[in-house]
């Protein structure tokens, strides 16, 4: 089982509470598909997104090209106002336990800055994900893991989608 966690592509600045992507963000989303087509990323078998438009737009080119539906998962949302850090981390752990339980395939997850940063502190990995190397996430940056039979997330790569 491989799991790739993405921060959504560059979002537009607006006051709607649910902005879409900028032109650069849409170009980053297209580049995700290019990376899959060039075998720089594996072809996903599942696409998981939060409720927010920007996560859907990030995976839309991949979804459309492969005819793969995007699965909305509320656990991919940012930390909620009434959610303390312990509850937020628990939600993240359950999210990744559910993904790893699939046992086979390649899941791409698209989420938000605070979730991906907190995920680095809760995932059981063979690499120290709390290291400063993983503390800042640019738009459309991703990390990939192979989940082994012991539930350990074996680090594969940490990259930004470059235009």
Identify the bridge partners of residue 108 per DSSP, sorted by sequence position.
4, 47
Assigned token pair, 116: 């991906």
Mean pLDDT score, 5-14: 95
Reduced to 3 states (helix: H, G, I; strand: E, B; else coil), residue 124 is: coil
Structural domain of residue 19, as residue ranges? 2-160
Give CA separation, 113 vs 8, 10, 69, 117, in Å. Answer: 8, 11, 23, 6
* C-beta of residue 76 within 8 angstroms of C-beta of residue 109: yes
User: Model pTM?
Assistant: 0.96
Q: Mean pLDDT for the chain?
A: 96
Please say if the pLDDT value at position 8 is more than 90: yes
Q: What CATH number corresponds to the domain at position 138?
A: 3.40.50.1240
Model confidence at 45, pLDDT cuts 50, 70, 90, reads very high
Mean pLDDT score, 58-71: 98
Number of domains in the chain: 1
Find the Cα–Cα–Cα–Cα dihedral 62, 65, 67, 70, rounded to 10°.
Answer: 20
């Amino acid at each position: 089982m491989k799991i790739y966690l993405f921060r959504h592509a560059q979002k537009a600045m607006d006051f709607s509470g649910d902005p879409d992507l900028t032109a650069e963000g849409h170009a980053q989303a297209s580049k995700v598909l290019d990376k899959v087509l060039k075998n720089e990323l594996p072809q996903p078998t599942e696409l998981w997104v939060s409720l927010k438009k920007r996560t859907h737009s990030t995976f839309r080119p991949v979804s459309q090209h492969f005819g793969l539906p995007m699965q909305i998962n509320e656990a991919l949302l940012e930390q909620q106002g009434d959610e303390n850090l312990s509850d937020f981390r628990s939600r993240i752990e359950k999210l990744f336990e559910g993904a790893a339980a699939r046992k086979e395939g390649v899941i791409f997850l698209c989420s938000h800055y605070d979730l991906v940063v907190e995920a680095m502190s809760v995932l059981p990995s063979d690499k120290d994900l709390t290291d400063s190397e993983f503390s800042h996430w640019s738009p459309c940056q991703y990390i990939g893991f192979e989940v082994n039979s012991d539930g350990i997330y074996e680090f594969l790569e940490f990259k930004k989608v470059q235009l």
